[in-house]
Amino acid sequence: MNYAQSIPSEVALKNLSQFITPNSKLQTPNSNVSGPIRASFLSKVFFFYLYPFYYGSMKIIISGYGRMGKEVEKAAIAEGHFIALKIDDKKGWENLRNDHPYADVIIDFSQPEIAIDNILNAFELGIPIVTGTTGWFDKLDEVAELCHKKEGSLFYAPNFSIGVNLFFFVNAKLASAMSSFNDYRVSVKEIHHIHKLDAPSGTAIKIAEDIIKNHPHLREWINRPDFGAGLLPVVSEREGEAPGTHVVSYESEADFIELKHEAKNRSGFAKGAIAAAKWLIGKTGVFTMDDLLKSLF
């Protein structure tokens, strides 16, 4: 079932709205159901269907209700969006398939081992999905093929922070400029909280891949401090509750150049994911932050 088919028509929504007044008093013909009870029901209908329709709010399903899931919830509510459902296990997905609540989009911050299942579930349900879960990108081609086959909508990113995506841009330009200077050894370091399961981070992998694309003397990255010929070392550290730090270093005998991004908290990731969700609705295909940013500039 495609959830877009369950959206009430504009005429139906306007007809419903006339029965609900600001103080939730019911103004309808005689009914077997008492006024206050029907008013309560119609008020829920209004806030679940009418309000988002008229005011541009999204109804969001959160997949993965951990640190980032809670951050997304907080940021979404602050922007006036609605949380339709929070899923944190397989039973939650089963309930979603059985209950069929209407939703505009799913925002997923779960775990690498279940991310693909979550994405495929979204395709089957016909709901656009935004995922910030990393550790599954080796299967991206297969997922993209299924997305196109199902006419699904997928927005994935190793990092939704606007600052990090600007960091990506500068990193690629710097790598290209530094490729002419063989005296410099380049390395990448990422620091995250002890609960992060994948290493290196998806952000660090993109940083490394962008360096290799723009630096002809490097052929592959390796997740240890190894400066062998053609290798780009990527070092992963796990410390306390650190939300995320990424550092690119160029070192020679003469000097040291460092490009660094340090997240102060998780709010930037959550706001970026919500911006991606708003942008994704109404589109089909596979998209990244590059697509979103290009559409803005």
Catalytic residues: 192, 196
For residue 286, CA distances in Å to 109, 125, 150 come to: 17, 16, 12
Query: How far apart are the C-alpha atoms of 35 and 31, rounded to whole Å?
Result: 8
Q: Where are the alpha helices (DSSP H) in the chain?
A: 10-17, 35-45, 51-55, 67-78, 90-99, 112-125, 140-150, 162-178, 202-214, 267-280, 289-296
Query: How far apart are the C-alpha atoms of 55 and 70, rounded to whole Å?
Result: 24
Positive or negative: CA dihedral 130, 133, 138, 142: negative
- Minimal CA–CA distance to 64: which of 104, 126, 122? 122
Q: In the numeric block, which tokens belong to residue 21?
A: 């007044």
Query: How far apart are the C-alpha atoms of 121 and 63, rounded to whole Å?
Result: 11
Query: How far apart are the C-alpha atoms of 127 and 129, rounded to whole Å?
Result: 6
Query: How far apart are the C-alpha atoms of 102 and 84, rounded to whole Å?
Result: 8
Q: State the Cα angle at 105 between 103 and 111, rounded to 5°.
A: 120
